[in-house]
Amino acid sequence: MTSTDLLQRWAAVRQHSLDLIAPLSAEDCCVQSMPDASPVKWHLAHTTWFFETFILEQYEQQFQAYHPAFRMLFNSYYNDIGDKHPRPQRGLLTRPAFDTMLDYRAQVDARIRRCISAMSATSEATAARLRQLLELGIQHEQQHHELMLTDIQHLLSCNPLSPALYVTTATAPASTPDPAPLKWISYEAALSETGYHGDGFCFDNETPRHRQFTEAFALADRLISNREYLEFITDGGYRDHRLWLAEGWDWIRTQQIRHPLYWLPEPDGSWSTFTLHGRQPLAPEQPVAHLSLFEAAAFACWCDARLPTEAEWEYAATSEQAALLHDLYGARWQWTSSAYAPYPGFAPAAGAVGEYNGKFMINQYVLRGSSAFTPAGHSRATYRNFFPASTRWQLTGLRLARSPHT
What's the pLDDT tens digit per position in 258-287?
999 999 999 999 999 999 999 999 999 999
Asked if the model's pLDDT at residue 402 lies above 70, the reply is yes
Asked if the model's pLDDT at residue 214 lies above 60, the reply is yes
What pLDDT is attached to residue 176?
59
- Reduced to 3 states, what is the DSSP secondary structure of residue 19? helix
DSSP code of residue 54: I
Q: How far from chain centre, in Å, is Cα 318?
A: 21
Residues in the chain: 406
Banded model confidence at residue 50, pLDDT cuts 50, 70, 90: very high
Asked if the model's pLDDT at residue 295 lies above 50, the reply is yes
Mean pLDDT of the chain: 94
DSSP code of residue 181: P
Tell me how far apart the alpha carbons of residues 35 and 39 are, in angstroms, rounded to a whole number.
10
Q: Is the model's pTM score more than 0.85?
A: yes
- 116: CB partners within 8 A, 6+ apart: 3, 6, 7, 10, 130, 134
Asked if the model's pLDDT at residue 34 lies above 80, the reply is yes
| Residue 179 or 99, more confident | 99
Q: Compute how many other C-beta atoms are within 10 angstroms of the C-beta atom of residue 346.
A: 17
Check: CB of residue 328 under 8 Å from CB of residue 302. Answer: no
| Residue 118 or 139, more confident | 139
Check: CB of residue 73 under 8 Å from CB of residue 45. Answer: yes
What's the pLDDT tens digit per position in 14-32?
999 999 999 999 999 999 9
- Reduced to 3 states, what is the DSSP secondary structure of residue 72? helix
Check: CB of residue 26 under 8 Å from CB of residue 153. Answer: no
Average pLDDT value for residue range 184-192: 97
- 319: CB partners within 8 A, 6+ apart: 187
Amino acid at 147: L
- Crossing angle for the helix pair 3-20 and 124-157, to the nearest 10 degrees: 10
Banded model confidence at residue 365, pLDDT cuts 50, 70, 90: very high
Tell me how far apart the alpha carbons of residues 88 and 232 are, in angstroms, rounded to a whole number.
34
Structural domains of the chain, with CATH: 3-157 (1.20.120.450), 184-402 (3.90.1580.10)
What's the pLDDT tens digit per position in 325-339?
999 999 999 999 999
What pLDDT is attached to residue 72?
97
Average pLDDT value for residue range 49-67: 95
